[in-house]
């Protein structure tokens, strides 16, 4: 008798944006407390999750994206590495299923430096997990995570990082192997063939999305515009303790919601449910998320 499966097949999903191939690569998920949500009670947020048959407490998907363009390969975000929950850190296994090796990635683009996005940069021994890649991020992001003043403020206030200042030395360790191949950019810059950085500050000072455009088609990878879509799409005022500037994060979320709904932009997100691609539309006085249906053909 055949043995029943004990795990899912590798979580990857390919799609085309004009001449560019985009591949969603799952890093797994993280489970966490409802208490980090702000401007909403844990009870109300939990009720919203139960109403749409989602786990309580919250479960957060972790997505990374491969971009094949112009004969080059970029990876947008690197997942949680080995430093967080056992349910995360799945990028290496799933990346292998794409046929791309870490050595073949020539650019790593970061949306921001929180550990569920950047802890896959370095191995446990401290070497570069992507040995031939340059590391690129917004200049304001690098400035923030290397600032002693910012580190002291987070340790004092707790806003921005629930674990106090621990994220700062973690970020520095992850960046260290790329010190001689670090590229800093500003919003609006083309950072990879067909990929333009869009500055979405608030969650962190240099938090970025990436607009992928080719052949009259486009898709916006919006980073961490939402962490918990079932709550923050209908209630965009809900922020999270991970936001460095909650008021700015909420304002940025409303601005991006308005932009993608008006322009009917195809979106992808690091914390939308895998494979993380969708549309956002206005509904009543708010918004509704429509996940993209799986397609057999590219």
Q: Are 72 and 11 in contact (CB under 8 A)?
A: no
pLDDT digits (tens, 9 = 90+) for 195-226: 999 999 999 999 999 999 999 999 999 999 99
**pTM recorded for the entire structure:** 0.96
Of 145, 126, 127, 129, which Cα lies nearest the Cα of 77? 129
239-240 and 190-192 strand pairing: unpaired
Taking the CB of residue 156, how many other CB atoms lie within 10 A of it? 10
CA 176/CA 168 separation, integer angstroms: 12
Q: What Cα–Cα distance (Å) separates residue 227 from each residue in 21, 84, 125, 154, 220?
A: 25, 17, 30, 20, 16
Q: What Cα–Cα distance (Å) separates residue 283 from each residue in 261, 269, 280, 289?
A: 10, 20, 9, 10
**Which single residue is written with the structure tokens 């895998």?**
274
Q: What Cα–Cα distance (Å) separates residue 73 from each residue in 33, 154, 216, 292?
A: 36, 35, 21, 24
Q: Are 208 and 137 in contact (CB under 8 A)?
A: yes
Buried b (16+ CB within 10 A) or exposed e, 214-225: beeebbbbbbbb
- The pLDDT of residue 165 is 65
- The pLDDT of residue 7 is 87
- Using DSSP, state whether 261 is helix, strand or coil: helix
CA 223/CA 111 separation, integer angstroms: 6
Q: What are phi and psi of 255, to 5 degrees?
A: -65, -45
Which residues, including other chains, have CB under 8 Å from residue 293's CB and lie 6 or more apart?
none
Q: Low-confidence residues of the chain, pLDDT below 50?
A: none
- The pLDDT of residue 156 is 87
Token pair in block for residue 8: 């899912």
Q: Are 63 and 271 in contact (CB under 8 A)?
A: yes
Q: What Cα–Cα distance (Å) separates residue 109 from each residue in 36, 63, 156, 185, 268?
A: 27, 13, 30, 11, 15
Domains of the chain, with CATH numbers?
A: 12-291 (3.60.15.10)
């Amino acid at each position: 008798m055949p043995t029943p499966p004990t795990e899912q097949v590798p979580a990857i999903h390919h799609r085309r944006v004009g001449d560019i191939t985009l591949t969603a690569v799952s890093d797994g998920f993280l489970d966490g407390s409802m208490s980090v949500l702000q401007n909403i009670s844990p009870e109300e947020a939990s009720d919203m999750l139960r109403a749409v048959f989602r786990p309580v407490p919250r479960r957060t998907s972790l997505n990374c994206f491969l971009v094949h363009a112009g004969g080059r390969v970029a990876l947008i975000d690197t997942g949680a590495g080995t430093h967080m929950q056992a349910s995360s850190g799945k990028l290496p296994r799933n990346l292998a299923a794409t046929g791309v090796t870490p050595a073949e990635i020539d650019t790593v683009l970061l949306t921001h430096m929180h550990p569920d996005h950047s802890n896959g940069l370095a191995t446990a021994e401290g070497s570069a997990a992507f040995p031939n890649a340059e590391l690129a991020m917004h200049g304001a992001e690098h400035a923030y995570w290397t600032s002693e003043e910012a580190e002291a403020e987070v340790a004092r206030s707790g806003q921005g990082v629930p674990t106090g200042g621990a994220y700062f030395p973690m970020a520095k360790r992850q960046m260290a192997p790329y010190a001689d191949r670090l590229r800093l950019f500003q919003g609006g810059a083309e950072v990879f063939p067909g990929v333009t950085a869009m500055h979405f500050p608030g969650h962190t000072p240099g938090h970025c999305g990436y607009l992928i455009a080719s052949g009259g088609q486009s898709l916006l990878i919006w980073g961490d515009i939402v962490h918990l879509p079932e709550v923050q799409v209908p209630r965009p005022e809900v922020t999270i303790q991970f936001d460095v500037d909650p008021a700015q994060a909420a304002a940025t979320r409303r601005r991006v919601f308005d932009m993608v709904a008006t322009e009917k932009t195809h979106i992808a997100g690091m914390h939308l449910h895998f494979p993380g691609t969708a549309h956002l539309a206005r509904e009543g006085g708010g918004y509704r998320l429509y996940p993209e249906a799986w397609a057999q053909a590219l």
